[in-house]
Amino acid sequence: MKLCSALCALFLLFTASVTAQDAALQAQFDQLLQAQYPADGPGAAVLVTKKGQVIYQRAIGMADLELDVPLKTDHVFRIGSVTKQFTAAAILLLTEQGKLSLQDEITKFIPDYPTLGKTITVTHLLNHTSGIKSYTGMEEWDDMTRRKDFTPAALVDFFKNQPMDFEPGTKYKYNNSAYVLLGFIIEKVSGKSYASFIDEAFFQPLGMRHSYYGDVKPLIKNRANGYTEAEPSGFANADYLSMTQPYAAGSIMSTVEDLTTWTLAVHNGKVLQPESLKKAFTPNILPDGTNTYYGFGWNIKNMMGSPSIEHGGGINGFLSSLVYVKGEDVCVVILTNCDCNGPDPLADKLAALAAGKNLAPTALKLENSVLEQYTGVYENDKKEQRIITLEGGVLKSLRTGGSKYTIVPYATDQFYFENSMSRIRFVREPKGAKKVTKAFVSDRNTEDNLWVKTDKPIPAGRAEMQLTEAQLEPFVGEYQLAPGFSITVTREGKQLFCQATGQSRFEVFAESPTRFFLKVVDATIEFYPDATGKVPEMALFQGGQEIPGTRVK
List the single range of 12-26, 32-46, 490-504, 521-535 with lowest mean pLDDT: 12-26
Q: Examine the pLDDT at 125 and tell me if it is beyond 80.
A: yes
All residues at 6 or more sequence positions from 262 whose CB lies less than 8 Å from its CB, including other chains: 86, 202, 206, 208, 211, 254, 271
* CA neighbours closer than 13 Å in the CB half-sphere of residue 407: 28
So what's the pLDDT on residue 13?
32
- Rounded CA-CA distance 458/387 in Å is 7
Q: Which phi and psi (to 5°) does residue 298 adopt?
A: -135, 145
So what's the pLDDT on residue 21?
52
Kindly list the structural domains of the chain, giving each domain's residue range(s) and its CATH number in brackets, ordered by start: 80-260+278-307+319-354 (3.40.710.10), 368-453 (2.40.128.50), 469-551 (2.40.128.50)
Q: Examine the pLDDT at 147 and tell me if it is beyond 80.
A: yes
All residues at 6 or more sequence positions from 497 whose CB lies less than 8 Å from its CB, including other chains: 489, 490, 491, 505, 506, 507, 508
- Counting residues of the chain whose pLDDT is more than 70, the rounded percentage is 95
Band (484; pLDDT cuts 50, 70, 90)? low
Please say whether the dihedral angle defined by the alpha carbons of residues 274, 280, 281 and 285, taken in this order, is positive or negative: positive
- Rounded CA-CA distance 47/323 in Å is 11
- Rounded CA-CA distance 93/90 in Å is 5
Q: How big, in percent rounded to 5, are the helix, strand and coil portions of the chain?
A: 25, 30, 45
Residue 481: closest CA among 531, 428, 527, 547:
547
The identity of residue 178, as a single letter, is: A
- Compute the average pLDDT of residues 379-406: 91
Residue 33: closest CA among 418, 334, 359, 353:
334
Q: Examine the pLDDT at 139 and tell me if it is beyond 90.
A: no
All residues at 6 or more sequence positions from 282 whose CB lies less than 8 Å from its CB, including other chains: 295, 300
List the single range of 34-48, 67-81, 430-444 with lowest mean pLDDT: 430-444
Long-range interactions of 473-477: CB distance < 8 A, separation 24+: 474/527, 474/529, 474/533, 474/534, 474/535, 475/527, 475/535, 475/538, 477/535, 477/551, 477/552, 477/553
pTM for the whole thing? 0.85
- Rounded CA-CA distance 380/2 in Å is 52
Contact 324, 261 (CB under 8 A): no
Dmax (CA) of the chain: 70
